[in-house]
Structure 1
């Protein structure tokens, strides 16, 4: 099979390259999916596993390699529309995986809650959780089934100390998008299950202590208020534990301390940035452990074996690490790895039970990811393979953090991608606002789209405008109900900053973004019409009144409350902030790109923008994908998107 040779050859290769290609061929190279993802090592280190995409079927398969020979011991590759989703090693011989399905009408896969288990050599396959189960029955394949359950399941805990059992969270199918969550102990060989508890509220998650007791339940209500409950074993019931949260908002428990007497949690006090707190379960005393003055934690490091939080990652420009326990073995390993692989973001993605062997991925702005095997006992680091070995990091563009002051005195941060091999002066520029706008932010990472533009000599500007996540509640809330005003001013001010720094040619600037970025790509040029030569709106929202009525946000559990908070309901204000009502202010050339199956920014948004352009007799170009949703998920769709977008930008910037 091609999928086998792809993984095995990748395991052997130790060099990368970027084919000297035309613009069209470059788009294909940057569109390719990673050779493999979700790389893990088995608990005793006998097997290496990863998910790879079969180039013939475009389906995800799980490949399990023998660590000694680096040859496949088994491949999970479902027939028909089935494909591998997330997976977990539950003991040294057995893997539990989620089964998803390719959809006919849309490029993404759907997960219906089915979990299966199989040994590393392919023996003892078993359907252990899902709606297709039947007691003692078998399917047409050799996979035995357990009794059926009408629920969507997710792994809660692999219970490393128990060979046969796992904890599964299940969301029953109630006909609504919210349900009382249930927890089951499931035997990974027989599929037999025992219900342990149900959450006291809807859509809950749980925290398990070191004795494998489900002790905390946390969620939010329809108005986005934090809910927290503690399970009282003596009373055998869930009790309100809001006193643990105290005055903290946006609260989430992370892990128990080693003695199970306290928890680590993340939360915000007032309008400060999010911090990590240690909270005593008996006294309710809160101790602030780590906080950054500018940014929220971007990554939390919890030991796979001890389940204890040991480090926190922040990103104020470049990533940095703060350790809760410097003596923790994982903290020491992380420090050693950062020295061994400098100038990279380091992630420990999997490890053996004894912690002696770890799978590590190293990545940065020029490198999408290299995998290593680290033997912490022998202090040896072995290169395994690259996620995308056809791209040469040496030929990629530098991504440089920037900081500037907005017109009203707010400190803003972002990144500029500087093409390799040319002078960084007077360059053509594409401004790329991120989606959201609330929650997401831009980071110092490898970005395929921006790197592709840089291959054409185009610099790319990203700004974490007010309203972005990651900079504390005050910064995020400062963007509420300001989508079409202050947020756009920040994007425009960032563009002017790039001009003032001498990077950007003021006569060769376009703006291009997706989702909220697509909205900004059409809205910013209505405010600064002489700044942008072209605007590319991808899967964007363009009519904010319509956003209250169509798409999956108003239909979601707390979506209505969210929109009311961040946008409001004033019709005049929503129209003033909508590109559909401001076409007469445009001067930029316009390209609209959309997916017919988009549920987040449905076709009503595209239709409203197209109608407004037609009524104004304003010229525009468009491309609609019939099977794409809120983004382009197959290599073929991404390649067409890249080629369409790059060609339009180059034409309008006269490159």
Structure 2
């Protein structure tokens, strides 16, 4: 234990290790476990908590920041994995834990058993998660819902809807105890619960108003691609009715930073108002608005931007006022109403070399101590404490210690003009280059969605390729989100057409500028990007030297048929895809004209297809259809099935296969 404490303390005090000759990370280093995560400041700002992993063991770490000679307190919680930590008060923490149970015997499994487990083992592990409160001084631990017998059938029980800052003994938690996801008031001192609102089997989240009363209920469709937002309506007899107010399409991958069309943000200044990120019917850009959920209307536009959608805001917890916003232009932009706070943020941007996104994660109640995260193309993620009175920053540590002092590629903004005159922008990330050397081979990487976007930040896919000597270009083609509704709508029914030529025009621009060579480029994409890669392979087969398509759509008509079959012909989910791709009856021939499966015989370059067997967004049948068409055409290609992966999740073994195949 003393050795572990010494290792932990050394990490916090020293930060980066000194590297003799900085080198790019290896694939193993990129895919290494997180070493430090979930840092949190206590309400007063005196204490900091977090999670540190050392030699495969998780430790809850606490640090007294007011102590002139701070010592680190580290607690091992046994066989549980720690997911996140948060503070209820300076004296009590919440800790989300994951454990494993053998579903045959019902016995909890140890970490050693999990490490030794294989398919021949007699146990069948199943993960479960629970929330516990811990007293800071005594270490006394209490499990939430511990008296509920039906809790054993709930394998995920760590979400918190409202920390109830005015009630330090309670929090609000959603729990699926009887099939429906209901909302409960939970006593953090003894774990007892009281049900306060009832959801449905499709409910997945709750939001509360300024008084801690349920205000919004969010439901998902069966495939998790669309959310339906219901607002509370108080009836005269005292009962509550839930009224559907919005349908919002979710992003296909969890790391997208673009604003949704309607996103619930924060309770407003009155009981029936909420701050939302939304675009009213006559607005092109998503801005922050004050929404009255009782009247179902936008009552005030609080902040908007003329160029891009606004992502989110910062709010005063006492007055419920918006005090600042953030959005992505190329990098993250934060605009605070207080000039003093803004000056500190501007100075921090300079301190970090004007090339990283400085993200305020938390602050003390008096606002004098901040917890920050820094992330950018050459900074994979580090945490810092900032003191406003001294204007000094102290690094706490990196997310992945094995990436310390490694070299990463720098990213430049590229502006170019599409063949029809539309102004576009993308991002070019390059490895360090010798003066006068020819440009490195290029990987063109269109993003997924297609209503997503790229920005200047740390991108693991990009940096893994850069570490092997490639440069990577990420175009924000028409149809991308983040730049307003009109720009996104330019991509409607432009699959394989203008969206595709926007990608090509970006590549041609790099060649014309001497930044890339026409005969040394590959295209690689995931989801919609996977479609764009296969479209390039079959519609412009001589354009790229190789093609990598992951989780991509190959047969657009089959994709539409599946959406109609699973969602219904009148569903908003199906109508979304008809609007973006075309009607499978009326537009059948134009859709077939841009479906890669219909043009498999055109393939003339090596093609790698990767697809998760459990993909529920772009089903595995899409890979099988392309496989069959290519075999029939006698073409050279490789299909790699990721046996245990979905659209947005890969287990470690599939992740290693994924990147190994791409690099090969």
Task: Using the TM superposition, give the Cα deviation of residue 476 of structure 1 relative to its aligned residue in structure 2, in angstroms.
Answer: 1.9
SS of equivalent to 1:435: coil
Secondary structure of the 2:338 match is coil
Instruction: Encode CA deviations 1:386-414: one digit per residue, 9 max, x unaligned.
Output: 22344366832211122222222322221
Cross-structure match for 1:297: 310
Aligned pairs (5 A) from 1:600-611: 600-611=617-628
Q: Does 1:388 align with 2:388?
A: no
Measured against aligned partners, the alpha-carbon deviations of 1:602-622 in whole angstroms (never above 9, x if no partner) come to 432222222221111101234
Matched, 1:10 2:11: yes
The partner residue of 1:266 within 270, 274, 277 is 277
Whether the 8 Å contact between 2:233 and 2:243 is mirrored in structure 1 is: no
Structure 1 residues 291 and 644, CA, compared in 2 at 3 Å: closer, same or farther? same
Matched, 1:166 2:174: no
Q: How far apart are 1:5 and its partner, in Å?
A: 6.7
TM-score by length of 2: 0.80
Partner SS for 2:79: coil
Deviations 1:559-592 (CA, angstroms, capped at 9, x unpaired): 4454444334415444333222211122221112
Question: Does the CA contact (< 8 Å) of 1:433 and 1:517 recur in 2?
Answer: yes
Per-residue displacement from partner, 1:331-354 (whole Å, max 9, x unpaired)? 565455335444131111133344
For residues 9 and 61 of structure 2, the distance between their equivalents in structure 1, rounded to whole angstroms, comes to 11
Q: Deviation per CA, 1:127-174, whole angstroms, max 9, x where unpaired?
A: 313xxx545x8xxxxxxx979879866211111232210011345664
In structure 2, the CA distance between the partners of 1:33 and 1:373, relative to structure 1 (3 Å rule), is same
Residue 139 of structure 2, aligned match among 117, 123, 138: 123
Q: Does the C-alpha gap of structure 1 residues 51 and 392 become closer, same or farther in structure 2, counting only changes over 3 Å?
A: closer
Which 10-residue stretch deviates more, 380-389 or 44-53?
44-53
What is aligned with 1:651? none
Question: Over residues 507-539 of structure 1, what are the superposed CA-to-partner deviations in whole Å (9 max), with x where a residue is unaligned?
Answer: 101011222222211112322222100001123
- In the alignment, what sits opposite 2:111? none
Determine the C-alpha separation between the residues in 2 that align with 1:631 and 1:254: 24
**Within 1, Cα distance between the matches of 2:126 and 2:367?**
34
- Give the 5 Å matches for 1:542-621: 542-548=554-560, 554=566, 559-570=573-584, 571-621=588-638
Is 1:65 equivalent to 2:62 in the alignment?
A: yes
Change (3 A) 1:285 1:12: closer
In the TM superposition, what is the alpha-carbon distance from 1:374 to its structure 2 partner? 1.7
Q: Whose relative contact order is higher, 1 or 2, with alpha carbons under 8 Å and at least 6 apart?
A: 1
> Closer, same or farther in 2 for the Cα pair 1:118/1:577, shift >3 Å?
farther
Kept in 2, the 8 Å contact 1:539–1:630? The answer is: yes
Q: Distance in 2 between matches of 1:21 and 1:552?
A: 53
Say if 1:588 and 1:299 are closer, same or farther in 2 by CA, change over 3 A.
Answer: farther
- Does the alignment pair 1:38 with 2:52? no
User: Which aligned pairs between 1:159-238 and structure 2 lie closer than 5 A?
Assistant: 159-171=164-176, 174=179, 182-198=182-198, 203=203, 205-216=205-216, 227=229, 229-232=231-234, 236-238=238-240
The SS at the match of 2:517 is strand
Which residue does the alignment assign to 1:141?
none
Give the TM-score of the pair, scaled to structure 1: 0.81
- Output aligned runs, 1:220-619, within 5 Å: 227=229, 229-232=231-234, 236-238=238-240, 250-258=261-269, 263-269=274-280, 270=282, 272-279=284-291, 286-303=299-316, 308-323=321-336, 325-326=337-338, 334-335=345-346, 337-343=348-354, 344-391=356-403, 395-423=407-435, 426-438=439-451, 440-548=452-560, 554=566, 559-570=573-584, 571-619=588-636
Please state how far the C-alpha of 1:95 moved relative to its aligned partner: 2.7
Please give the alpha-carbon distance, in whole angstroms, between the structure 2 residues aligned to 1:151 and 1:512: 35
Q: Deviations over 1:259-299 (max 9, x none)?
A: 66854322113350111223578996733332222221234
Structure-2 separation of matches of 1:473 and 1:111: 41
Of 366-375 and 621-630, more deviation after overlay is shown by 621-630
Query: Offset at 1:86?
Result: 4.0
Aligned residues: 616
Helix, strand or coil at the partner of 1:624: strand
Contact 2:35 / 2:54 at 8 angstroms: preserved in 1?
Answer: no
Task: Determine if the alignment matches structure 1 residue 92 to structure 2 residue 90.
Answer: yes
Q: Name the SS for the 1:537 alignment partner.
A: strand
Matched with 2:162 is 157
Q: Is the 8 A contact 1:74 1:120 kept in 2?
A: no
Note the residue ranges of structure 1 that are not aligned, 5 or more in a row: 138-144, 648-655
SS at match of 1:29: helix
Q: 2:178 and 2:420 mapped to 1: Cα distance?
A: 49
Contact 2:552 2:622 in 1 (8 A): yes
What CA distance in whole angstroms lies between the structure 1 residues aligned with 2:118 and 2:310?
38
3-state DSSP class of the match of 2:529? helix
Query: SS of the counterpart of 1:587?
Result: coil
Q: Are residues 370 and 224 of structure 1, via their aligned partners in 2, closer, same or farther at CA, if it must alter by over 3 Å?
A: closer
Q: Is the 8 A contact 2:288 2:312 kept in 1?
A: no
| Secondary structure of residue in 1 paired with 2:403 | coil
* CA deviation profile, 1:23-79 (whole Å, cap 9, x unmatched): 9x722222223322222123344543334456648xxx4522233544233233535
Other structure's SS at 1:450 match? helix
SS of match in other structure, 2:159: strand
> For 2:188 and 2:8, how far apart are their aligned partners in 1?
27
SS at match of 1:415: strand
| Whole-angstrom CA distance in 2 between matches of 1:431 and 1:558 | 33
CA shift for structure 1 position 480: 2.9
